[in-house]
Amino acid sequence: MTDEDGGVVFDMGAAENAELIRQGYEAFNSGDLATLSELFAEDAVWYAAGSGVLSGTKQGRDAIMAYFGELGARSQGSFQASVRDIVGGENHTVAIQQSRAESNGKTLDVATAIAYVLRDGKVVEGREFFEDTAKPDEFWA
């Protein structure tokens, strides 16, 4: 496949997109933020759901990695995203996960879906959806 200037465009299929996201979860859950960072485009955008202290739009890879670091720091390293399924598509790949953490006597246990947009083998967008947005808002407060 080529772009309008005749350059080669790297176009991954659904299975490759799902595998890339699966590798991201492995890196995230093992605390390998260097590997995780490489999966994101420099100008990627992350939409953290809710209206809590960690909610909002994260612009750029560095801001996204800082957000992921904050999830770990605020949960004393207990935050885990357990993958239930990853559905790969040509334009969107969706991961269904159970998000769990413990901190200061509080427990977070919430079903989550994240819709990813991948381009040229990199995540360019992530958008969180929670079964109950109030649960993470309350936990991270």
Query: Splitting the chain (141 residues) into consecutive groups of 10 residues, what average pLDDT does each group show?
Result: 47 85 95 94 96 96 96 94 92 94 94 95 96 92 90
Phi, psi of 36 (to 5 degrees): -60, -45
Q: Domains of the chain by range and CATH?
A: 14-140 (3.10.450.50)
Which pairing describes strands 80-87 and 93-103: parallel, antiparallel, or unpaired?
A: antiparallel
Specify the pLDDT at position 90: 79
Q: Give pLDDT tens digits for 115-129.
A: 999 999 999 999 999
The secondary structure of residue 1, as a DSSP letter, is -
Q: What is the pLDDT of residue 101?
A: 96
What does the pLDDT read at residue 13?
87
